[in-house]
Amino acid sequence: MTVKDLANNQTLLAQQEKRESNARSYPRRIPIAISEAEGIFVTDMDGKRYYDCLAGAGTLALGHNHPVVIEAIEKILRDKRPLHTLDITTPVKEEFVNEIYSNLPEQFADRAKIQFCGPTGGDAIEAALKLVKTATGRSTILTFQGGYHGSTHGTMAISGNHAPKQYVQGLMPDTHFMPYPYAYRCPFGMKDEEGHRVSSTYIENLLDDPESGILHPAAMILEVVQGEGGSIPAPIEWLQEMRRITKERGIPLIIDEIQTGIGRTGEMFAFEHAGIVPDVIVLSKAIGGSLPLSVMIYDQDLDKWNPGAHIGTFRGNQMAMAAGTALLKFIKEHELHNHAAAMGKKMIVALKEMQHQFGEIGDVRGRGLMIGVEIVDPTQGQSASGSYPSHPALASRIQRECFNRGLILEVGGRNGSVIRLLPPLIITEEQVTDVLRIIEEAVKVAVESME
Ligand code: PMP
């Protein structure tokens, strides 16, 4: 096959369908072959340009090929730095660690140890599970309904979604799912915003009840804003309660910041909104400045595992560390976390207005630039908490109508019915307006097509 034969979308997509695994996912919903990318835009093989509000599933905080990222990568090459060093240290790594530590709350940074993991978010979560089990000598893990932590055996065991796990036998045992404060579909059937208090009470009771059936946990793991579960922000008070409850009982709290981290939610790290200090945080996605990298940062008291307890070949990606350093510096210098908060607010206000126009928009929620629009069928009966049944067919039609109009966004959440926006933090106000215009048009056309 020559390059000429590969010169359009259709040929590449056909080749992909023929040769790639049945497990491939995004191309099924976003049928595009990307030729070039810059900032918030990608251009396909046929020359059509799209807004990329998926941005590598939240990875590309500065968008595609940001000049500071490109310069950092090129500098590694110019300076003849090693590209790969296992976990052997280098000046590039030292600068990266300094940069991360300088962004952490002092209370955490002063006592922090860092483990480089290899190189996916899932691997860093695996490391976190092993760390807390080793440090506590316990095995029970408390996780949450709707949580997503990865696609490996261990991380899938602590993730909520049934679809990928139902065919895989023998997942990690002793994992227990707690109710996440999902106000629109309150697990306790409550109509107001009070459901999170019941969740805290339930969890505290369960930990203290000698007949709860759940042994003293090695850790609790949570996302401050659930990503794959449907862009669901946890109330601040609930997060503070989770910290109090775990702290009082000597249970390490692992915060999965893989999707929320590095400015996306309006703070550098999402846990900062609640003013809490976790025991472990896990970072990946944005931290490598577009390149694969993951790290776990944890309190020194947990550092009880042996040399070599968590290894892996690809833990020394120097280009990713340099790109990550450049990204962190740029975000801090330009206060992009504040920009993310402002742009997110603008989007949420506009989407809530759209909700008055379309009964099919059941809920609009988010924190910073991590936004969810839950698509429902308002012709059906309401649940106890006032929610309507999800409408996955309409959600996927909206996604397709957006795509046709040059906007890439993800659909996820319960039953694949939540439109998820994860644009790069550099999105401008004009681009926000344009993206909202496309969404409004797409919703209108999609709703009409269902009538
Ligand atoms: N945790 C969270 C919160 C995530 O969003 C993801 C990826 N979507 C992961 C873990 C897993 O990361 P990776 O795909 O790099 O293994």
Q: In the predicted model, what is the mean pLDDT of residues 323-346?
A: 98
Positive or negative, the CA dihedral 299, 303, 307, 313 is negative
pLDDT score of 191: 85
- Find out whether the beta carbon of 150 lies less than 6 Å from any atom of ligand 1: yes
- Find out whether the beta carbon of 270 lies less than 6 Å from any atom of ligand 1: no
Expressed in angstroms, the distance from the first to the final Cα of the chain is 45
Tell me how far apart the alpha carbons of residues 360 and 370 are, in angstroms, rounded to a whole number: 20
Q: Break the chain into its structural domains and give their ranges.
A: 3-65+336-450, 70-333
What digits encode the pLDDT tens for the residues 256-284? 999 999 999 999 999 999 999 999 999 99
- Find out whether the beta carbon of 260 lies less than 6 Å from any atom of ligand 1: no
The number of the ligand 1 atom at minimal distance from the alpha carbon of 151 is 16
Q: Are 135 and 165 in contact (CB under 8 A)?
A: no
Q: What is the percentage of the chain residues whose pLDDT exceeds 70?
A: 99
- 363 CB burial (10 A radius; 0-12, 13-18, 19+): buried
**CATH fold group of domain 70-333:** Aspartate Aminotransferase; domain 2 (3.40.640)
Q: In the predicted model, what is the mean pLDDT of residues 317-341?
A: 98
Using most ligand atoms within 8 A of CB, pick from 149, 222, 262 the residue to mutate for ligand 1: 149
Q: Provide the mean pLDDT of the chain.
A: 97
Tell me how far apart the alpha carbons of residues 408 and 55 are, in angstroms, rounded to a whole number: 9
Cα distances from 412 to residues 9, 25, 226, 298, 421, in angstroms, run: 25, 12, 11, 30, 10
pLDDT score of 73: 98
- Find out whether the beta carbon of 159 lies less than 6 Å from any atom of ligand 1: no
User: If you take atom 11 of ligand 1, which residue's CA is the nearest one?
Assistant: 150
pTM of the model: 0.98
Cα distances from 126 to residues 121, 174, 279, in angstroms, run: 9, 15, 16
Ligand 1 centroid from CA 378, angstroms: 32
What digits encode the pLDDT tens for the residues 51-87? 999 999 999 999 999 999 999 999 999 999 999 999 9
Tell me how far apart the alpha carbons of residues 394 and 447 are, in angstroms, rounded to a whole number: 7
Tell me how far apart the alpha carbons of residues 34 and 48 are, in angstroms, rounded to a whole number: 10
CATH architecture assignment, domain 3-65+336-450: Alpha-Beta Complex (3.90)
Q: Residue 242 corresponds to which tokens in the numbers above?
A: 């989770």
What digits encode the pLDDT tens for the residues 109-133? 999 999 999 999 999 999 999 999 9
Ligand 1 centroid from CA 149, angstroms: 5
Length of the chain: 451
pLDDT score of 2: 58
SS3 assignment for 297-366: EEEHHHCCCCCCCCCCCCCCEHHHHHHHHHHHHHHHHCCHHHHHHHHHHHHHHHHHHHHHHCCCEEEEEE
Which H helix or E strand runs over 172?
Answer: none
Q: Residue 203 corresponds to which tokens in the numbers above?
A: 């969890």
